[in-house]
């Protein structure tokens, strides 16, 4: 047997987090399992206990939108979690063969946007939180100890989830590391729901599971949340303490990629710290143009950039 699968794991984990008193049920006698029993959850959702059991065990793959909505209400799921539940159910219906995806590429428009953001730290993340590109400040703020040219080579691209859990530098960078870790895990849960057959994403989850007990504990919780906007206190090794707001912006022409920008309040000490970081790094070189951009001004610009040393 292959086990219940992602859908069953999610349902079981969220059921275990609800107590009878949370949903208005009496709690009679000792309970051998944490949270609600399957038959209690089925009663709340208005489905038969046998049907819900089969759904959670991965033996039923045809849950309708109405049934999923009822189960989501019974589990007291938020909007992001309900969307995640629907994606997991849809993936369970499909039996596609996992293919090793091609390396992600950054579109010309995204390179243009990244060059325009030289005044603020910015980086482009792929569907698995791989760093596809960053500007000089983005590199200097979040991963200045790594090779600035690493994102250009798909085999060496840094991964922000891996860095967060396995790189001591990142643990020291975030004052509230656990809050950042929870946000990253919640975002990874969303990614797995969207791409359940991605073998590289599965390899990343497996690696973090093997190497990080903290990741295991957070992953087991099955919380789902997007990394959209949040403020974090940092302690940078070169410029000291500062607070940045990390905002994740969708890229319309590259829906599986996002651009993350780090901003600071105008006139704040954090803004001054970023200005100091910019001075320490020297002139910020724009990211290189993609290999296909070989005509006109783009070719001239790419040659100029490639002739300059990385930060």
CATH number at residue 66: 1.10.260.40
Q: Which residues pair with 260 in a beta bridge?
A: 123, 248
Total tally of structural domains belonging to the chain: 2
103 within some domain: no
| pLDDT of amino acid 300 | 39
Q: Which residues pair with 240 in a beta bridge?
A: 236
In DSSP notation, 52-66 reads HHHHHTT------HH
167 within some domain: yes
Residues 141 and 270 in one domain: yes
102 within some domain: no
Residues of the chain under the 70 pLDDT cut: 1-4, 26-34, 60-61, 94-100, 225-227, 282-311
| pLDDT of amino acid 7 | 81
CATH code of the domain in which 152 resides: 3.30.450.180
Please list the helix, strand and coil fractions of the chain in percent, rounded to the nearest 5, in that order: 50, 10, 40
Which tokens is 248 given?
């994740």
Which tokens is 182 given?
């929870």
Residues 140 and 41 in one domain: no
Residues 209 and 302 in one domain: yes
- Of 76, 5, 6, the C-alpha closest to 35 is 76
What does the pLDDT look like over 205-249, one tens digit per residue? Answer: 889 988 999 999 998 877 776 667 899 999 999 999 999 999 999
How many CB atoms are located within 10 Å of the residue 309 CB?
8
Residues 287 and 163 in one domain: yes
252 within some domain: yes
Domain boundary among 93, 121, 139: 93
232 within some domain: yes
Phi, psi of 249 (to 5 degrees): -110, 130
215 within some domain: yes
| pLDDT of amino acid 286 | 47
Residues 9 and 123 in one domain: no
| pLDDT of amino acid 227 | 67
Residues 58 and 146 in one domain: no
How far is it, in rounded angstroms, from Cα 237 to Cα 116?
26
100 within some domain: no
Residues 199 and 54 in one domain: no
Which tokens is 160 given?
């922000």
98 within some domain: no
- Of 155, 114, 165, 113, the C-alpha closest to 138 is 114
Domain that holds residue 48: 5-93
Domain boundary among 59, 93, 127: 93
Find tokens 């991605």 and name the residue: 198
Residues 240 and 208 in one domain: yes
What does the pLDDT look like over 237-286, one tens digit per residue? Answer: 999 999 999 999 999 889 899 999 999 999 999 999 999 999 887 544 44
Residues 128 and 22 in one domain: no
| pLDDT of amino acid 288 | 53
Residues 191 and 78 in one domain: no
| pLDDT of amino acid 307 | 33
Domain boundary among 47, 64, 93: 93
Residues 80 and 222 in one domain: no
Residues 251 and 199 in one domain: yes
Helix residue ranges, H only, 104-158: 108-116, 136-143
| pLDDT of amino acid 30 | 64
């Amino acid at each position: 047997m292959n086990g219940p699968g992602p859908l069953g794991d999610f349902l079981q984990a969220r059921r275990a987090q609800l107590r009878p008193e949370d949903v208005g049920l009496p709690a009679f006698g000792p309970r051998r399992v944490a949270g609600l029993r399957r038959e209690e959850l089925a009663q709340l959702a208005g489905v038969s206990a046998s049907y819900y059991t089969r759904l959670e065990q991965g033996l039923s793959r045809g849950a309708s939108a109405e049934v999923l909505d009822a189960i989501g209400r019974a589990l007291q799921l938020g909007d992001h979690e309900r969307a995640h539940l629907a994606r997991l159910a849809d993936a369970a219906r499909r039996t596609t063969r996992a293919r090793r995806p091609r390396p992600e590429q950054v579109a010309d428009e995204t390179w243009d946007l990244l060059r325009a953001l030289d005044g603020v730290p910015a980086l482009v993340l792929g569907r698995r939180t791989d760093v596809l590109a960053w500007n000089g400040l983005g590199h200097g703020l979040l991963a200045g100890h790594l090779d600035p040219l690493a994102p250009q080579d798909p085999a060496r691209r840094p991964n922000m989830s891996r860095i967060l859990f396995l790189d001591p530098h990142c643990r020291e960078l975030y004052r509230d590391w656990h809050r950042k870790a929870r946000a990253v895990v919640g975002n990874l849960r969303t990614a797995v729901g969207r791409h359940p057959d991605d073998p590289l994403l599965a390899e990343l989850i497996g690696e973090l599971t093997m190497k990080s007990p903290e990741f295991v504990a957070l992953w087991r919780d099955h919380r789902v949340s997007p990394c959209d906007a949040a403020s974090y206190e940092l302690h940078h090794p070169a410029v000291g303490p500062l607070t940045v707001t990390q905002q994740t912006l969708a890229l319309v022409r590259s829906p599986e990629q996002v651009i993350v920008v780090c901003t600071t309040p105008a006139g704040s000490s954090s803004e001054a710290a970023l200005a100091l970081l910019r001075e320490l790094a020297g002139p910020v070189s724009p990211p290189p143009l993609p290999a296909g951009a070989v005509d006109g001004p783009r070719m001239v610009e790419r040659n100029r950039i490639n002739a300059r040393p990385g930060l």
